Structure 1
């Protein structure tokens, strides 16, 4: 799946920034760590020193709705390049600096996270209906 397909997948699952909590961002970071570590171990990234940065830059509205969030990745030759960005205009970016090999584990983590988020949303809807 490429970046555009990943963005479309998010929308098709009925998700929006309004559904994303700080805890959900933490889940995404854990999934990013898992997928990046797996790719490094499998030597599918350009270098074997890629790792998620601990830095998370996020803004929320006063009502707790996500405005923007930036997650970063590090390597031995750079720090804090974009891994995933939730921009204020609604655009979700995926490692704009990266080639497809370095970007794929990031997209894979996002797709797994969308499945998690979709399941959470279905459970909330189910509770509201009942």
Structure 2
């Protein structure tokens, strides 16, 4: 598991989160409800820890839809002043939308949860650093 103080000190960009996922070697297309449910849990943990959105930000639901181009998985979030905003959208072309509504501060719990999730599921987690930035395998 990722060390909480390290996660709280770092700031990630959406591109760094996407790059961590790309480097991980995991195939999102093979994932089902259990894997995405774990991401939901990690997002909720990070949102509680961060106090985001007046400490009311939580994952609300997940949808999965098969389209002619492939499956689209959306994880939505809510707060005491909004509902059903994007947490993550996993698109069939490989693009991952990450809390598009959020500024660079509000997106941090989502990015930190994404990196933690990738590290848990990656065949070679050492290829994804705890910060989500480029990593090299340890000898």
**TM-score, scaled relative to structure 2:** 0.72
CA contact (8 A) 1:36 1:52 kept: no
Distance, in Å, in 1 between the alignment partners of 2:110 and 2:34 is 19
Instruction: Name the one with the larger helix percent.
Output: 1
Aligned residue in 1 for 2:65:
59
Q: Deviations over 1:78-107 (max 9, x none)?
A: 101001110222210110000111100000
> Which residue among 6, 9, 17 is the counterpart of 1:6?
17
Distance, in Å, in 2 between the alignment partners of 1:37 and 1:60 is 32
Q: CA deviation at 1:15?
A: 1.8
SS at match of 2:107: helix
Size of the alignment, in residue pairs?
111
Q: Which runs of 4+ in 1 moved over 3 A?
A: none
Aligned residue in 2 for 1:27:
38
**TM-score, scaled relative to structure 1:** 0.77
CA contact (8 A) 1:84 1:94 kept: yes
Check 1:73–1:37 CA distance in 2 against 1; reply closer, same or farther (3 A cut): same
Q: Are residues 1:93 and 2:81 paired?
A: no
Aligned residue in 2 for 1:125:
none
Q: CA deviation at 1:46?
A: 4.5
Quote the RMSD (CA, aligned, Å): 1.8
Provide structure 2 residue ranges, at least 5 long, that are not aligned to the other structure.
1-11, 125-139
> Which residue among 45, 48, 61 is the counterpart of 1:37?
48
Q: CA deviation at 1:77?
A: 1.5
Distance, in Å, in 1 between the alignment partners of 2:66 and 2:34 is 13
